């Protein structure tokens, strides 16, 4: 029941506290004043972290959620404050990350009148959220928060936004703090009600396969299906490839692991996809980065697609068997139905590819990003929580920082958001204070959100920011080199600051790596420094390209394992 003299904002904070919310990341402002005041007046376990930009707050909540599996809350004001969250919300939506965003709003009687800092954030965010709501009744706030939490964290997770007009948050609350949620159109529990016919059909296809591949995606991780996936793969003797977001759901160092597939995946993973007779997709949405030319993908193979979201079926690829439901439940059921397969010949073929087409890099002619990542992997024993930005450094990190455990690889996949890595690392470090957290970023993306150095410094978070600096937007430059006659346009980051001096201006420790011989020594110093954040600026070769590469929209068999000798046609797919 409500307490005397409580207002809506206090009821909202009490509700978030009772839901177990540990962190609110945000930025204050006029329309959110009552809610910020409630953070001071309500006795709760919630800790508030002030970011330096609302996008950073979203990525912090995102990183926290990806690193812990638990949602965090973003709290911002109306208008520009809410508008600055869009990229962060979109990033979470594209990668199915739970998040609750609370935006302050103008008072209800001013809505639609172009009032100060009024933006129709309910309308603006509709295409980039799992769900959103505009609360028009003070007593409805606890129900809105409970429904938002439920929607964000169940089924296929995603961001849910609650827009709270100022008069709603500051009016007296006289309602129920623990109302029943009422969502007749939302039934995530059906994910555990699997179709036995589909499971039998999947088991039947599996029993006839001699060249199977498991494609493990983020959905398997969200379902916490690692043990079931391990049992499934080892029982069958089935090789496993993973998506970018699936890194860690199956240990990439396991003998059955093929590593990441797709545009910049390993040659052997992509060859396995081309030559297999069965693809068992566990929780991946057949993203365009991994299938290339859709009509040629798995053309010779049978396909089993396990996904919690029915709308992913037939979206990109038409499977032979659709298993709609939770990945853990589906694999648990399938493990009772399958028997070992004779895959010795198939595995020998793939092991041959592993030997013939290993990931590698040149160790002469300057410092390469791959070497820095390779040494980081060795020095941390592969146990760090790694976040990345987007671009060449991200793909090399995915290739060279093999991930063996879930929730240790945090990267913006679907949205491809530059500026994600550093704030996501801050959120991850708040959620996992005892783990090593490394933000692997490029010099481009880092500059989009580096104002959060203040946030990291203030909280003395031992986040390591590894800036792989080539003074270029390297991935775009690579495309211009390969497909646009090497005409560089809008990619030269001439004018970069001295990242070490900049760090020092924030009171943050800085390191430089200038030569290949320095890498191990400097990285070790940075890893040993735990009094607060540190920035490691690694001056890398400017014009290195990422391979293997499948040009966008091309078939997997058209993969370039090394730089092409002839001029390339412009890719048919986008980006």
Residues 498-517 that bind another protein (CB under 8 A): none
CB of 322 vs another protein, minimal distance in Å? 11
Is residue 116 flagged as an active site residue? yes
According to CB under 8 A, which one of 131, 271, 285, 354 is a site residue for another protein? 131
Of 116, 189, 192, 300, the catalytic one is 116
Size of the site for another protein (CB under 8 A): 18
Residue 127 found at the interface with another protein (CB under 8 A):
yes
Measured from the CB atom, the residue of 227 and 310 that comes closer to another protein is: 310
Smallest gap, in angstroms, from Cβ of residue 437 to another protein? 34
Q: Residue 386, by phi and psi: left (phi above 0), alpha (psi -120 to 50) or beta?
A: beta
Catalytic residue among 221, 475, 549, 559: 475
Q: Tell me how far apart the alpha carbons of residues 504 and 498 are, in angstroms, rounded to a whole number.
A: 10
- Closest approach, Cβ 143 to another protein, in A, equals 13
CA–CA separation, 60 and 80 (whole Å): 19
Please report whether residue 395 would count as binding another protein according to CB under 8 A: no
Please say which residue, 128 or 448, places its beta carbon nearer to another protein: 128
Closer to another protein by Cβ: residue 186 or 529: 186
Residue of the chain from 122, 149, 250, 420 that contacts another protein (CB under 8 A): 122
- What are the CA-CA distances from residue 486 to residues 32, 369, 469 (Å)? 49, 21, 20
- Closest contact distance (angstroms) between CB of 320 and another protein is 17
Is residue 296 among the annotated active site residues?
no
The angle formed by the CA atoms of residues 104, 34 and 137, to the nearest 5 degrees, is 65
**Tokens matching residue 40:** 């001071």
For residue 195, the minimal CB distance to another protein (Å) is: 16
Active-site residue (options: 14, 25, 36, 54)? 54
Determine which residue in the list 73, 75, 151, 546 makes contact with another protein, applying CB under 8 A.
151
Closest CA to 327 of 156, 197, 95, 209: 156
Residue 518 burial (CB count, 10 A): 16
Catalytic residue check, 371: no
User: Active site residue: 130, 143, 166, 302, which one?
Assistant: 166
Contact assessment for residue 561 and residue 360, using Cβ atoms and an 8 Å cutoff? no
Q: Output 112 or 345, the one with its CB closest to another protein.
A: 112
* 531 given a catalytic annotation: no
Q: What are phi and psi of 410, to 5 degrees?
A: -125, 110
3-class secondary structure per residue, 307-340: ECCHHHCCCCCCCCEEEECCHHHHHHHHHCCCCC
CB 253 within 8 A of CB 318: no
306 CB-near residues (< 8 Å, 6+ apart): 202, 219, 280, 281, 282, 283, 323, 325, 327, 330, 331
Closer to another protein by CB, 59 or 130: give it. 130
| 132 vs 408 by CB, closer to another protein | 132
Smallest distance, another protein to C-beta of residue 35, A: 22
Sole window of 49-57, 123-131, 278-286, 349-357 interacting with another protein (rule: CB under 8 A): 123-131
Judged by beta carbon, residue 313 or residue 458, the one nearer another protein is 313
Q: Which of 126, 299 has the CB closer to another protein?
A: 126
Residue number, 109 or 564, with CB nearest to another protein:
109
Among 53, 66, 130, 289, binds another protein (CB under 8 A): 130
The residues in 301-340 that bind another protein, with binding defined as CB under 8 A, are 309-311, 313-315
Candidate list 47, 109, 126, 362; residue touching another protein; CB under 8 A: 126
Query: Which helix (H) or strand (E) segment is 255 a member of?
Result: none
Among 552, 540, 373, CA closest to 444:
540
Min dist CB 484 to another protein, Å, is 29
The token duo for 93 is 């939506």
> What is the crossing angle of helices 392-400 and 474-483, to 10°?
100
**Segment (H or E) for 524:** helix 519-528
* Cross-strand partners of 387: 410, 439
Burial of 150: CB neighbours in 10 Å, binned 0-12, 13-18, 19+: middle
> Interacting stretch for another protein, rule CB under 8 A, among 30-38, 119-127, 531-539, 557-565?
119-127
Q: Which span sits near another protein by CB under 8 A: 129-137, 478-486, 496-504, 532-540?
A: 129-137
> In sequence order, which residues have a C-beta less than 8 Å from that of residue 294 and are 6 or more positions away?
288, 316, 317
Cβ distance to another protein smaller for residue 183 or 344: 183
Residue 156 Cβ vs another protein, minimum distance, rounded to whole Å = 9
CB 108, CB 61: distance < 8 Å? no
CB of 20 to another protein, least distance (A): 22
Tokens of 459: 């909280």
Residues 159-218 interacting with another protein (rule: CB under 8 A): 183-186
Does 123 sit near another protein (CB under 8 A)? yes
Strand order in the sheet with 73-76: 47-50, 23-26, 73-76, 99-105, 159-165, 131-134
**Choosing from 48, 117, 230, 480, which is the catalytic residue?**
117
* Dihedral-angle region of residue 352 (phi above 0 means left; psi in -120 to 50 means alpha; beta otherwise): alpha
Annotated active-site residue 166? The verdict is: yes
Q: Does residue 294 belong to the site contacting another protein (CB under 8 A)? A: no
Least distance in angstroms from the C-beta of 202 to another protein: 20
Cβ-based neighbour number of residue 502 at 10 Å: 18
Active site residues: 54, 116-117, 166, 475
- Which residues here bind another protein, judged by CB under 8 A? 122-123, 126-127, 130-131, 134, 151, 183-186, 309-311, 313-315
């Amino acid at each position: 029941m409500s307490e005397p003299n409580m207002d809506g904002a206090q009821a909202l904070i009490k509700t978030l506290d009772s839901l177990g919310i540990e962190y609110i990341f945000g930025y204050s402002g006029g329309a959110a004043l009552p809610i910020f005041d409630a953070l001071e007046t309500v006795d709760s376990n919630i800790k508030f972290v002030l970011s330096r930009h609302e996008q950073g707050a979203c990525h912090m909540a995102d990183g926290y959620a990806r690193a812990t599996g638990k949602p965090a809350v973003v709290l911002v004001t109306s208008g520009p404050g809410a508008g600055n969250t869009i990229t962060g919300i979109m990033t979470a939506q594209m990668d199915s990350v739970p998040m609750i965003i609370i935006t302050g709003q103008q008072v209800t009687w001013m809505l639609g009148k172009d009032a100060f800092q009024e933006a129709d954030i309910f309308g603006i965010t509709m295409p980039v959220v799992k769900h959103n709501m505009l609360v028009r009744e003070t007593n409805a706030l606890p129900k809105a928060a409970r429904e938002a939490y439920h929607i964000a964290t169940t089924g296929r997770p995603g961001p849910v936004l609650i827009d709270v007009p100022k008069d709603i948050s500051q009016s007296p609350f006289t309602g129920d703090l623990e109302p029943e949620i009422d969502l007749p159109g939302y039934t995530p529990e059906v994910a555990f009600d699997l179709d036995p016919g589909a499971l039998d059909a999947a088991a039947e296809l599996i029993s006839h396969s001699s060249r199977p591949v498991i494609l493990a995606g983020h959905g398997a991780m969200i379902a916490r299906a690692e043990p079931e996936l391990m049992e499934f793969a080892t029982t069958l003797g089935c090789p496993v490839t993973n998506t970018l977001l699936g890194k860690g759901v199956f240990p990439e160092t396991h003998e059955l692991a093929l590593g990441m597939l797709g545009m910049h995946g390993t040659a052997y993973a992509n060859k396995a996809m081309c030559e297999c007779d069965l693809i068992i997709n566990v929780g991946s949405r057949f993203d365009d980065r991994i299938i290339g030319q859709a009509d040629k993908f798995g053309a010779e193979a049978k396909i089993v697609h396990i996904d919690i979201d029915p709308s992913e079926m037939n979206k990109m690829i038409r499977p032979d068997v659709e298993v709609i439901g939770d990945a853990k439940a589906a694999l648990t059921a399938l493990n009772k139905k399958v028997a070992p397969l004779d895959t010795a010949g198939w595995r020998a073929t793939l092991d041959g590819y592993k030997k013939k087409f290993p990931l590698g890099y040149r160790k002469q002619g300057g410092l390469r990003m791959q070497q820095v990542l390779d040494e980081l992997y060795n020095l941390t024993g592969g146990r760090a929580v790694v976040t990345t930005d987007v671009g060449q450094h991200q793909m090399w990190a995915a290739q060279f920082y093999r991930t063996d455990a879930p929730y240790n690889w945090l990267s913006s996949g679907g949205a491809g958001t530059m500026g994600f890595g550093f704030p996501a690392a801050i959120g991850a470090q708040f959620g996992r204070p005892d783990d090593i957290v490394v933000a692997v970023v490029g010099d481009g993306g880092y500059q989009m959100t580096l104002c959060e150095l203040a946030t990291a410094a203030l909280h003395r978070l031992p986040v390591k920011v590894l800036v792989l600096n080539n003074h270029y937007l390297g991935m775009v430059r690579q495309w211009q080199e390969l497909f646009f006659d090497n005409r560089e346009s809008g990619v030269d980051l001439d004018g970069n600051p001295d990242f070490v001096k900049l760090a020092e201006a924030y009171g943050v420790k800085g390191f430089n790596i200038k030569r290949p011989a320095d890498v191990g020594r400097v990285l070790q110093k940075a890893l040993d420094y735990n009094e607060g954040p540190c920035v490691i600026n690694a001056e890398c070769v400017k014009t290195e390209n990422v391979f293997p590469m499948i040009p966008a929209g091309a078939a997997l068999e058209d993969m370039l394992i090394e730089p092409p000798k002839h001029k390339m046609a412009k890719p048919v797919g986008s980006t």
